[in-house]
Structure 1
Amino acid sequence: MPVNLVPFLDTLIKPFYVYGVDFIQASQKNFRLWETPLMKIYQLADPWMVYFILFPILYYQSMRMGLRILWATAITEYVCIIFKLMLHGHRPYWWIYESPYHITAPRVGQFPLTCETTPATPSEKNMISACISFILISHYCRCKGLSMQCNWTKYVAVWSGHYTIQACILLSGAFFATQFPHQSIIGTIMGSMMARRFARTNVLEISFAGFTWMMFFMVSLFSMLNGAMWVLGYDPTWAGTKASMACMKISWMDIYRDMLVEHTVRASGMILGVGLATRFFTANALKITDGCLMKIKMVHAAVGISVIVIFESFVQPPFTVAPSLYYIFQFVKYTVPPVLIITDIPFITGLAKLISSGLVDEDPGCFTQLGGDPMIPDSDEVAAPSPLGKDECCNPPRHETCCVGKEEPSRNSGKTRKRSRSRSRRAR
């Protein structure tokens, strides 16, 4: 983006900034006693929670749904990063001190979560949470046969939960002065649009070459955009500079890393990790079928979460290394969690069959060999159906049967009756 477009964008969006500051000050005044719950909401909306907590839980419940959520999160996070680079989105805690508005406006409070160092448009937390929530709720409505024509009260109640979550994230971001309300709304709309694209995606149909090309495309496009901005005289790290000048305490900032690069490395590493796990590291892997009891699946999820969280916490590159080596190390680190969840954890726990814990019988029909290619269906000897061979709906859709007694007549029913009458007359 050329430099002369930046003042134009700032002037265009200035009314949203002004009214956004009023909303932030009102939220900090009226919700002061809710600081701890709002902090929890803001932390739960972080993409890290999807990668390291939600993905293992969903994967061991439904393999397709878990992979779909991981794929959608990585792609959505990357799209959000690209838009952050191109859109000049200020954060409230530094914008108010750079505009004449702060002369007459009260001071905006800052918190340990306030000092984000990336551009704010669109809101990453709203965008990713909206995408994940949209996919899960649309899947639930499809399984339960909910629609506006059938069980509309439940349908409206379920989707009201989706928008309530987004409103809570918007309020938490405004309370901590990390984002303006219009940035959260943009993120919600974009996340819902991304979810419509990924709602029925079958990640297992993507080849390893597809995963690899996607990873190279993500890294290359981000690098080219950064280089083009430097050539055009636009500093891609401008947000970090403004954050360091406006943040009250430098300890609240992560001054060692460029978070846009960090998130790009994380998203591309996760994509490559899924490709490696589903295409190459499945020789000894075990798949968890529908024959597993719920507590068996939860045990797997607990073990998986513990392993990858410990791995992510303790395997950290030193900050003293060169930035290029640091990000290469981070890329390799983020390719490991999908491999652990998809191959290693099911094999280790499934091999033991948890008999020693007394949770399952000796032959529960729970674990089946995943084999070299996960797209090859299981043999007929497997007792429990595999989530790879059918849709992951818990029950078949009931759109045709949920409104018993209220079925609409067919469009051609009138024509059919006329034809039958004419035939009867001819027979007479």
Structure 2
Amino acid sequence: METVYTQGVWLAEALQKRVMNYEKFWLFVTHVSDPKAAFLLCFPMAYYFSRRTGIAVLWVAAVSEWLNLVFKWILFGERPFWWIGESSLFETKPPQIQQFSYTCETGPGSPSGHSMVTSAVWWVMASTLASFLYSYTRSMLLMVVPYLLYLMVLVAVGISRVFILAHFPHQVVTGTLTGIVIGVILNHRVPDLRPLSFFVHISMGLLLGALLFHAALERCGVNLSWSIALAKKWCSHPEWVRLDTTPFSSLARDCGAMLGLGLSQYWKPGGWALPRAPRALCLALSAMVLYHFNRILLPTSPPLLFYCLFFIRYSLVPQVVMVFVPGLVHLLTEKKKNN
């Protein structure tokens, strides 16, 4: 793998030299392709366009991120920003590269979580939009447009991850292809209108499954904290190493979102039936609420408290989008109609 890693480092160096003038754009791309964006951004947009699509986006995001976590624990992928320092191959000719605020992620590098979750989630949205356009226009040309945009997004995300030294190129390609497969498969198995017990079992299954797998690997002598130590060692700015990039943060997010999805469908089966204009208002309000909700700083010590609060935060996200905000808008529009 040294040859693959070495070529990846030189490619990242060449990429930074060529497109450094567009640094803000690539940082924006890597920011909006963060797995949390699937929950906080893609899910509300998709839900107010189509209820089933929104539920599918949340479902696919949670399962694909959980699978990415398991794959990372198995594959032990390095990340460029620490492998350069750990390797002795660049002592005589170190690469001219730069780290960024999004570089220092703490989990293993293979496969890329950004690429995997983005390709899975955006497949759901692209295929839904393509079907919608074709059903209204019967134009094959228009139906192809969402898929072209989808490919452009995947390429941009991949370039951004290599550019900031978060991943090697082969990790991006692997994550992208795996995400596409997951998106295609899970998009046909959306848990719409399933009972609360189903989601409780899914949430607990994801949690216990990951914890048992983690314990088994630790029992076999595998140190699963190796990547966190390397991230702290080689990150150029210690404050860039954040607790919300650890594998257990991803696990808390996925389990919380699944429980929240079950509670949302339990509180209001079928959701609120709203016309187009109120749905646009719901999207604006949900975006505002989730934006400020995500900005709330959680205590990072002890870590267990952080993970519990992180779980609660993402269990509330589906309820905000599916129950609280639509319920408020429905109440206001009905009151105005009666007046």
TM-score by length of 2: 0.92
- Where structure 1 has 5 or more consecutive residues not aligned to the other structure, the ranges are 1-12, 357-361, 364-428
Secondary structure of the corresponding residue to residue 318 of structure 1: coil
- Give the C-alpha shift of residue 302 in structure 1: 0.8
Shift of 1:310: 2.1
Alignment of 1:28-427 (within 5 A): 28-103=16-91, 104-145=93-134, 153-254=141-242, 256=243, 259-279=246-266, 281-282=267-268, 287-289=272-274, 292-293=275-276, 295-314=277-296, 316-320=297-301, 322-353=302-333, 362=337
Opposite residue 307 of structure 1, the aligned amino acid is V
In 1, distance between residues paired with 2:143 and 2:244? 43
Residue 267 to residue 83, structure 1, CA distance change in 2 (3 Å): same
Q: What are the Cα deviations for residues 300-358 of structure 1, in whole angstroms up to 9, with x where unaligned?
A: 111112123323323x44233x33333223222221121122111111111110876xx
Q: Deviations over 1:102-121 (max 9, x none)?
A: 12342332122211111111
Contact 2:199 2:258 in 1 (8 A): yes
Q: For the residues of structure 1 that align with 2:48 and 2:166, how far apart are their CA atoms?
A: 34
Tell me, in whole angstroms, the C-alpha distance in 1 between the residues paired with 2:158 and 2:244: 26
| Residues 86 and 154 of structure 1, relative CA distance in 2, 3 Å threshold | same
- Matched AA of 2:291: V
Deviation of 1:15 after TM superposition, in Å, equals 2.5
Residue 288 of structure 1 and its aligned partner are, at CA, apart by 2.6
Encode CA deviations 1:61-108: one digit per residue, 9 max, x unaligned: 211111111111111111111111111110001111222321234233
Compute the displacement of 1:158 (Å): 3.7
CA distance in 1, matches of 2:287, 2:262: 20
How many residue pairs get matched? 335
Q: AA paired with 1:300?
A: C
User: Which residue does 1:370 correspond to in 2?
Assistant: none
Structure 1 residues 225 and 67, CA gap change in structure 2 (3 angstroms) = same
Higher radius of gyration, 1 or 2: 1
Contact 1:27–1:175 under 8 Å retained in 2: yes
Q: Structure 2 counterpart of 1:337, which letter? A: V
Matching residue's letter, 1:350? H
- In structure 2, the partner of 1:410 is none
Q: Which amino acid aligns with 2:194?
A: I
% identity of equivalent residues? 23
- State the TM-score, normalized to the length of structure 1: 0.73
Q: RMSD value over aligned CA atoms? A: 2.2
User: Take 1:19 and 1:158, find their aligned partners in 2: how far apart are those partners?
Assistant: 33
Determine the C-alpha separation between the residues in 1 that align with 2:102 and 2:319. 31
Residues 112 and 70 of structure 1: CA distance in aligned 2, closer, same or farther (over 3 Å): same
Distance across 2 between alignment mates of 1:238 and 1:115: 14
Distance 2:144 2:47 in 1: 27
